[in-house]
Structure 1
Amino acid sequence: MHLAAFLNAGPMGTSGWRHPDADPGFLTANYYRHVAKLLEAACFDLAFIPDALSVPRSLGNSFAPAVQWGSGTPRLDPLVILGVMAGVTEHLGLAATLSTGYHEPFHLARALATFDHVTGGRAGWNIVTSFQDAEAQNFGQPTLPPREARYARAEEVVSAAAQLWDSWDDETLQQNKQTGEFGLASKVRSVDFRGDFVTTQGPLNVPRMPQGYPLLIQAGASPSGRDFAARWADVIFCSHESLASATAFYQEMKQRVTDHGRDPQQVRILPAATVVVGDSDTDAQQKHRAFAERVHPLAGLSRLAYHVNVDLTRYDLDGPLPELGEVGVQGHYDEVREFAQREKLSIRDIGRWYGARTEGNMIGSVSSVVDTMEQWLEQGAADGFMIQATHLPGAFEEFARYVVPELQRRGLHKSHYQGTTAREHFGLERPSRDAWQQRALRR
């Protein structure tokens, strides 16, 4: 079982900061150092930081709800935070969310190659196209481009970045002090990428990284996002309200990967799992209810509006959630719609639920939680899980203290690291030079 940890570089969730055990020090380095050491001691494969490039304005066209309720803001720079975490760990993979919409390929390639070198091959890139109009408005655009245009740009950005990573051969550096030859110029090449959205000359000014490419992560749930993930992703992060939907998604994505000429065993699928563990199932449910009672409905709606990029105040809050058309994060919207239709929730009710929602139905005793995780693996719904914390550091502390030992006892989770790079943790091969061609050219 592969375990990744989902944590914000900022307050957790909508009301995670209100939890009695939540540490308010998310603006300090020690906050992240503590979490990093905790995750490595529990043999997590990866720490994963989401990101967005704005203070959300999705509810009522105002940033006030996001600030008031702490939904989607603040967000610190993920690579800086991961650098802090790298300094106190030796094995833990470290993945940053970086947008293809508002970064150029050279900048992305250079930053990630540098990070991979200085961490000994532990860099991961969560590839996003951005999902809020507020992000577009911070970069000179009135609204977010349509999804197809965003993914067309993403295709070019990732292709160009991969070619920049490959502009240096593995054997380029010589550093021969006798002859004075630093590197073999014949093993470095120009890139000269020319696309509809981006251009870059290259070569990169950083040698080829230990992993070849960083661990590539993608979470698109729309048809465009799924196709992009099938071509590029090493790890696919997803969100499901039920085992049935998770299993269907798993089977579809493995088939899409195969259709693109890739080995499905070289792609890992990690559904989100918000684990709340107690002495018994009843105790865990009580713990979660106590947390959920701290969530104001408007805080939950602010978070949902941020994720779907739709102002929900345009609708009757006591009526059902309407069909919204194109949304920001398709996976979250699909999950909400599935749950709301089944439970017959109004938009206001959805706000109460969404602000404290858990994913994967993993609230219970240690044995109940591990039974569920094992069931998802056995029924072909997951290769592991993206563990989401209700609050930090307490939720991860409880998971490490109680759940991890039971996973290890059942032989479902490792007790020590066998490799050194993020790719090795996931059992993935190091891409050969020009491996990008097998992905980008099979569109």
Structure 2
Amino acid sequence: MSGMHLAYDLSFTHTEGRWAQPGSWVGQDFPDVRMYMEVARVAERAGVDMLFFGDGSGVPSTWRGSIDPAVEWGIQWPRHDMSPIITAMSTVTENIGFGLTYSSTFMHPFYVARLLNSLDHVTGGRIAFNVVASSRGADAANYGYAQLIDHDLRYERMEEFIGVCRALWDSVAPDAILRDRATGRFADPTKVRSIDHAGRFFTVKGPLASVPSPQIHPVIVQAGNSPRGIAGSASFADLVFGFGGNLGGQQRHRAMLDQALIAEGRDPAHVGILWATQIIVGRTDREAQSRRDAVMEFWTDEAVGTMLSHNAGYDFSTLPTSFRVGELRDEIAATGASPAGFVGALVEEFGAEHSLTRTEFFERGFAAASGLDHTIVGGPDTVADALEANFEATGSRGGYMLSSPLAMPAGLAEISELLVPQLRRRGALAPRYPGTTLRENLAV
């Protein structure tokens, strides 16, 4: 069995009430870069492989058609472009990697390829690119779309997007740069070539006007969980981001990905999944449980509805008193939003013909919105036991994208100080920073 890799998801360290909980920063508030620099130092001391930032550019507005609840309660808002934050974190660390998210649905591949090349230089080869096929109307509206692009078409665009990025990163050969002081020649023009891409979505001449970066290609991360998304992962991802918390769903995802990788001629042993897993760790099980109870106090009905509706791209305030879960899934898919997520999990659990009442839906939605449906709660031994058992049951390839519903920085600091050392003592983790780049350290 290969050891597990660990990443921290920093996407929401400042939202959903974390900013007000005991253990939160006092005198420093998001987006103060000093907060993130300190988190980076602590995580690197623990030997965490990567710090990860998801992203979304719209204020949640699906619930009741208004941004007001999200703004009032800080639900998935505010969000900043974290590339400057990553640059700052890289200056106080030497080994830990950084994952950054951009949307292939709205962004242009030339801009993203150029930016990631620059960030890979700044960080010394420690950048990962999490490419997403955006499924939220609030984001689409900010880029001039009246409605979402069709679900499967978004993945076609993503595959072309990544193909263009890779061609641009390869458009200047690694040995093209000469810097010959005697002759004055900077580079060999025979090793710098246009890509002349003309596809369905993009037309890009190239080449990339940049020096090849330490990794040449940043590590590519992708999080598609639908059959079409998994097919996309298999075609280009170095590492997959998957939903944790449901062993049956994890095993199905792993099996579908393996099958798709084999169809692409790729070795499933070399493509890991980082399972999104929320952690509440304390010095004892009892202490951890009390922290879980404190998290539950934040989640009002309005907060739950806002979170669920935003993630699904469907206004759940319009639900009837009773409905079939398969019918709801189909309605969501018909809008162009993703049929996976919370509603997809309900279909997996109960079957498409099962009926739920509105009250039952929101009772179950509480756990999904708060993340408590994929949270491991306990002391260091309890949590480590659960992670080791899950890692083995899901194929022992990849690891975990850990997040905390607790305050910033206390929640992540205690994972670093209590849980990670316990996993390392047990020999459960992959070797600590064996290479000089993120790609080497993640063995992808």
TM over 0.5: yes
Aligned with 2:217 (options 213, 219, 224): 213
CA drift of 1:240 comes to 3.2
Aligned to 1:323: 328
Verify the 8 A CA contact 2:103 2:131 in the aligned structure 1: yes
Aligned to 1:390: 405
Deviates more, 1:20-29 or 1:400-409: 20-29
Does 1:240 find its partner at 2:240? no
CA drift of 1:256 comes to 1.4
Q: Following the alignment from structure 1 to structure 2, what is the Cα–Cα distance between the partners of residues 182 and 174?
A: 5
**SS at 2:64 equivalent:** coil
**SS at 1:60 equivalent:** helix
CA drift of 1:304 comes to 1.1
CA drift of 1:343 comes to 13
Q: Following the alignment from structure 2 to structure 1, what is the Cα–Cα distance between the partners of residues 22 and 78?
A: 20
Verify the 8 A CA contact 1:112 1:214 in the aligned structure 2: yes
Q: Following the alignment from structure 1 to structure 2, what is the Cα–Cα distance between the partners of residues 88 and 424?
A: 20
Q: Which amino acid aligns with 2:419?
A: V
Aligned to 2:195: 191
Aligned to 1:268: 272
Aligned to 2:117: 113
Trace 1:53-202 onto structure 2 (pairs within 5 A): 53-202=57-206
**SS at 1:346 equivalent:** helix
CA drift of 1:286 comes to 2.5
CA drift of 1:55 comes to 1.1
Aligned to 1:427: 443
Trace 1:321-400 onto structure 2 (pairs within 5 A): 323-325=328-330, 326=333, 327-328=337-338, 330-335=340-345, 346-358=360-372, 360-382=374-396, 383-391=398-406, 392-400=408-416
Q: Following the alignment from structure 1 to structure 2, what is the Cα–Cα distance between the partners of residues 317 and 292?
A: 25
Aligned with 1:18 (options 3, 17, 20): 20
CA drift of 1:415 comes to 6.9
Does 1:5 find its partner at 2:4? no
CA drift of 1:360 comes to 4.0
CA drift of 1:337 comes to 5.3
Deviates more, 1:415-424 or 1:363-372: 415-424
Q: Residues 120 and 349 (structure 1 numbering): CA distance in 2 closer, same or farther, change over 3 Å?
A: same
CA drift of 1:282 comes to 3.5
Q: Following the alignment from structure 2 to structure 1, what is the Cα–Cα distance between the partners of residues 100 and 431?
A: 25
Q: Residues 240 and 408 (structure 1 numbering): CA distance in 2 closer, same or farther, change over 3 Å?
A: closer
CA drift of 1:178 comes to 0.9
Query: Sequence identity of aligned pairs in percent?
Result: 32
Q: Following the alignment from structure 2 to structure 1, what is the Cα–Cα distance between the partners of residues 426 and 61?
A: 46
Q: Following the alignment from structure 2 to structure 1, what is the Cα–Cα distance between the partners of residues 373 and 361?
A: 19
Paired residues in the alignment total 427
Q: Which amino acid aligns with 2:17?
A: S
Q: Following the alignment from structure 1 to structure 2, what is the Cα–Cα distance between the partners of residues 371 and 354?
A: 23
Verify the 8 A CA contact 1:220 1:331 in the aligned structure 2: no
Q: Following the alignment from structure 2 to structure 1, what is the Cα–Cα distance between the partners of residues 442 and 33?
A: 27
Verify the 8 A CA contact 1:301 1:354 in the aligned structure 2: no
Q: Following the alignment from structure 2 to structure 1, what is the Cα–Cα distance between the partners of residues 244 and 177?
A: 46
Q: Following the alignment from structure 1 to structure 2, what is the Cα–Cα distance between the partners of residues 77 and 329?
A: 27
Deviates more, 1:334-343 or 1:76-85: 334-343
Does 1:302 find its partner at 2:302? no
Q: Residues 259 and 161 (structure 1 numbering): CA distance in 2 closer, same or farther, change over 3 Å?
A: same
Aligned to 1:435: none
Deviates more, 1:246-255 or 1:154-163: 246-255
CA drift of 1:216 comes to 0.3
Q: Residues 370 and 9 (structure 1 numbering): CA distance in 2 closer, same or farther, change over 3 Å?
A: closer
Verify the 8 A CA contact 1:242 1:360 in the aligned structure 2: yes
CA drift of 1:270 comes to 1.0
CA drift of 1:241 comes to 3.2
Q: Which runs of 5+ in 2 are unaligned?
A: none
Q: Following the alignment from structure 2 to structure 1, what is the Cα–Cα distance between the partners of residues 182 and 92?
A: 37
Aligned to 1:42: 46
Q: Following the alignment from structure 2 to structure 1, what is the Cα–Cα distance between the partners of residues 92 and 163?
A: 33
Verify the 8 A CA contact 1:116 1:210 in the aligned structure 2: yes
**SS at 2:172 equivalent:** coil
Verify the 8 A CA contact 2:12 2:76 in the aligned structure 1: no
Q: Residues 239 and 97 (structure 1 numbering): CA distance in 2 closer, same or farther, change over 3 Å?
A: same
Deviates more, 1:354-363 or 1:367-376: 354-363
Q: Which amino acid aligns with 1:400?
A: S
When normalised by structure 1's length, the TM-score is 0.91
Q: Residues 303 and 317 (structure 1 numbering): CA distance in 2 closer, same or farther, change over 3 Å?
A: farther
Q: Residues 76 and 157 (structure 1 numbering): CA distance in 2 closer, same or farther, change over 3 Å?
A: same
Aligned to 2:423: 407
Q: Residues 270 and 419 (structure 1 numbering): CA distance in 2 closer, same or farther, change over 3 Å?
A: same
Q: Following the alignment from structure 2 to structure 1, what is the Cα–Cα distance between the partners of residues 347 and 311?
A: 13
Verify the 8 A CA contact 1:276 1:288 in the aligned structure 2: yes
Q: Residues 230 and 414 (structure 1 numbering): CA distance in 2 closer, same or farther, change over 3 Å?
A: closer
Verify the 8 A CA contact 2:329 2:344 in the aligned structure 1: no
Deviates more, 1:278-287 or 1:129-138: 278-287
Aligned to 1:439: none
Q: Following the alignment from structure 1 to structure 2, what is the Cα–Cα distance between the partners of residues 255 and 166?
A: 29
Deviates more, 1:273-282 or 1:231-240: 273-282
CA drift of 1:268 comes to 1.3
CA drift of 1:70 comes to 1.1
Q: Following the alignment from structure 1 to structure 2, what is the Cα–Cα distance between the partners of residues 36 and 85?
A: 6
Q: Following the alignment from structure 2 to structure 1, what is the Cα–Cα distance between the partners of residues 229 and 364?
A: 25
Q: Which amino acid aligns with 1:425?
A: N
| RMSD across aligned positions (CA) | 2.2
Q: Which runs of 5+ in 1 are unaligned?
A: 429-443
